[in-house]
């Protein structure tokens, strides 16, 4: 049975991958999957070194990887954030303009930083207008709750900790629909050599979504356990994400992705999150495995 290692985080949107592993769906489809949780800044290095074969992360992060010389091809849209990401604030911060000069806990090189840059740009500001302290989404939420920062960018399930502590959410991804999109990618060479393995993983994702529909309670228990949440807690986190089924995948990868990749690159270049555009954006995604 071929073994595949996927690098990802504890983000609620990725949880069906955990479900496919722990419910035996991957093995039923002839592939053994190991999940490695690591910071986004380390995932492409791990891929280049052969330690992982697949990476689950956002479109902007894949763009970062490709621009730094690690070619990736996105084969599956996993989810989009609908309120699952947020900028938490306290004190007299009432609007985005009030963030000017503030020290923000935000993960460098990941979607929180890209999304922060996107929100600032849409409000006539830039990433240079704020100070940044590099903390993972989990640590950023914890530091905010502990009173160490007045602003933090984080996502579910950690954003729920902010909400539970009566933290104020200045902006959520509900207000920027279609911007925080997660995908699963492999290197083009790996896909060319292992198309059946990639197809088995993609098929397993759709079977995991079917299991969630058929037995939500059991599925939420399995997925919640992986991030130390009860089924009920996980359900609250899950309401802020939208998992992409097969028709949604075909539509997004076939029509939306090429246009979105260009917008992402423009934002990242302007914010100096990348120094150059990826050499070949057209090869950064394929719809062949979701048809």
10: left (phi over 0), alpha (psi -120 to 50) or beta: alpha
Q: What pTM did the predictor assign?
A: 0.87
pLDDT at 166 > cutoff 80: no
Task: Please say whether the beta carbons of 127 and 116 come within 8 A.
Answer: yes
Predicted local distance difference test score (pLDDT) of residue 55: 98
Task: Please say whether the beta carbons of 151 and 89 come within 8 A.
Answer: yes
Residue with tokens 């919640």: 224
Whole-angstrom distance, CA of residue 112 vs CA of residue 105: 10
Whole-angstrom distance, CA of residue 154 vs CA of residue 9: 13
Whole-angstrom distance, CA of residue 77 vs CA of residue 248: 8
Burial of 249 (0-12, 13-18, 19+ CB in 10 A): buried
For all residues of the chain together, what is the average pLDDT? 94
In the three-class reduction of DSSP (H, G, I as helix; E, B as strand; rest coil), residue 230 is classed as coil
Structure tokens at 145: 């709750």
Residue 82: CA atoms inside 13 Å, Cβ hemisphere, count? 10
Residues 44-56: tens digit of each pLDDT: 999 999 999 999 9
Rg (CA), the chain: 18
Structure tokens at 19: 């479900």
Distances (CA, A) of 143 to 42, 86, 153, 214: 22, 15, 11, 38
Residue 240: CA atoms inside 13 Å, Cβ hemisphere, count? 25
Residues 10-30: tens digit of each pLDDT: 999 999 999 999 999 999 999
pLDDT at 108 > cutoff 90: no
Task: Please say whether the beta carbons of 203 and 76 come within 8 A.
Answer: no
Instruction: Spell out the domains of the chain, with CATH numbers in brackets.
Output: 3-81+179-284 (3.40.190.10), 85-175 (3.40.190.10)
CA 200 to chain centre: 21
pLDDT at 290 > cutoff 80: yes
Query: 231 pLDDT band (50/70/90 cuts)?
Result: very high
Task: Please say whether the beta carbons of 201 and 183 come within 8 A.
Answer: no
């Amino acid at each position: 049975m071929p073994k595949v290692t996927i690098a990802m985080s504890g983000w609620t949107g990725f949880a069906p991958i955990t479900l496919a592993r722990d419910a035996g769906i991957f093995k039923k489809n002839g592939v053994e999957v190991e999940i490695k949780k690591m910071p986004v800044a380390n995932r492409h290095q791990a891929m280049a070194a052969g330690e992982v074969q697949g990476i689950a992360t956002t479109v902007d992060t894949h763009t970062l990887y490709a621009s730094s010389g690690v070619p990736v091809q996105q084969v599956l849209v996993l989810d989009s954030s609908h309120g699952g990401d947020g900028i938490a604030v306290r004190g007299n911060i009432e609007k985005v303009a009030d963030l000017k000069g503030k020290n923000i806990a935000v993960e460098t090189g990941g979607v929180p930083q890209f999304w922060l840059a996107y929100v600032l740009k849409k409000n006539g500001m830039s990433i240079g207008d704020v100070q940044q302290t590099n903390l993972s989404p989990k640590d950023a939420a914890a530091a905010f709750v502990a009173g160490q920062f007045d602003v933090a960018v984080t996502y579910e399930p950690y954003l729920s900790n902010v909400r539970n502590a009566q933290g104020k959410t200045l902006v959520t991804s509900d207000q920027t629909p279609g911007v925080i999109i997660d995908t699963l990618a492999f290197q083009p060479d790996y896909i060319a050599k292992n198309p059946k393995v990639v197809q088995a993983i993609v098929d397993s994702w759709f079977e995991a979504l079917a299991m969630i529909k058929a037995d939500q309670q059991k599925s939420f228990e399995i997925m919640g356990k992986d991030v130390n949440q009860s089924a009920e807690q996980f359900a609250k986190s899950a309401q802020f994400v939208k998992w992409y089924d097969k028709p949604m995948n075909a539509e997004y990868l076939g029509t939306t992705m090429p246009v979105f990749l260009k917008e992402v690159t423009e934002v990242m270049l302007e914010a100096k999150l990348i120094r150059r555009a990826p050499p070949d954006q057209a090869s950064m995604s394929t719809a062949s495995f979701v048809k």
